[in-house]
């Protein structure tokens, strides 16, 4: 007579066990969900540093090609490189359109890219491919005052700080990672510093102080 009630309770227990297991899986999935990381870069006086490149490298970085939402182009206008600093993925081909009324001849002697583009004029465009990660300093053989920078990166989590020194990286995998800050005036080998960071929450903020020349 006692066997029947226990047999009725067994399916209920199994159902409850399945619900608990499903809830556990849901919590684990939420815990491992991509996070966002906001970084503020300031100088020794605590003032925000604009156009510093912030890169995050994680052991769980997603596979596949790296794509950024901005154009892979470095414009020459008013005898300046625009933008002053451009972030591109390793292997990208960058366009160099000339919008000036004078001719330009672009070059770089940087370790990550040594090249020279012969003179070309207004409304003409030349291109160059950057297969090596690192920083590239640009100049013009005709106009010595022109300076530009291309940061070639191997991580999809990279962006420049705004006028308040802030940048937010989204979709960042949780866990141990390395945070790199690069700026052409940063006092450090290669103009960059790297620190360890642990991504542990859905929204996280870091503040980094750097020394500039």
pLDDT of res. 63: 75
| Distance of alpha carbon 87 from alpha carbon 135, whole angstroms | 9
The CB density around residue 169, as the number of other CB atoms within 10 Å, is: 21
Q: Identify the sign of the CA torsion 78, 50, 151, 201.
A: negative
* pLDDT < 70 positions in the chain: 1-32, 61-62
The predicted structure's pLDDT at residue 24: 46
Domain interval for residue 130: 73-86+93-152
Is 117 strand, coil or helix? coil
- Residue range 19-63, pLDDT digits in tens: 434 444 444 444 457 789 999 999 999 999 999 999 999 887 667
Q: Are 147 and 42 part of one and the same domain?
A: no
Number of structural domains (the chain) is 3
- Name the burial class of residue 48, with classes exposed (0-12), middle (13-18) and buried (19+) by CB atoms within 10 angstroms of its CB: middle
Check residue 201 and give its pLDDT. 79
CATH number of the structural domain spanning residue 61: 2.60.40.10
* Residue 159 sits in the same domain as residue 208: yes
125 & 159 share domain: no
């Amino acid at each position: 007579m006692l066997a029947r009630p226990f047999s009725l309770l067994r399916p209920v227990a199994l159902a409850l066990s399945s619900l608990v297991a499903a809830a556990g899986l849901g919590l684990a999935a939420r815990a491992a969900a991509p996070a966002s990381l906001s970084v503020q870069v300031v100088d020794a006086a605590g003032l925000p540093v604009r156009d510093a490149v912030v890169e995050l490298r994680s052991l769980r970085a997603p596979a596949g090609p790296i794509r950024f939402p901005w154009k892979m182009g470095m414009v020459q206008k008013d005898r300046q490189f625009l933008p002053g600093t451009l972030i591109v993925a390793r292997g990208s081909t960058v366009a160099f359109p000339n919008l000036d009324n004078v001719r330009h001849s672009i070059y770089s002697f940087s370790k990550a890219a040594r090249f020279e583009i012969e003179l070309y004029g207004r409304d003409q465009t030349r291109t160059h491919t950057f297969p090596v990660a690192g920083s590239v300093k640009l100049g013009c053989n005709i106009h010595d005052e022109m300076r530009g920078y291309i940061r070639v990166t191997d991580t999809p989590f990279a962006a420049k700080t705004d006028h308040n020194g802030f940048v937010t990286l989204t979709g960042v995998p949780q866990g141990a990672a390395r945070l790199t800050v690069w700026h052409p005036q940063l006092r450090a080998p290669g103009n960059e510093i790297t620190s360890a960071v642990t991504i542990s929450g859905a929204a996280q903020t870091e503040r980094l102080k750097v020394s500039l020349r």
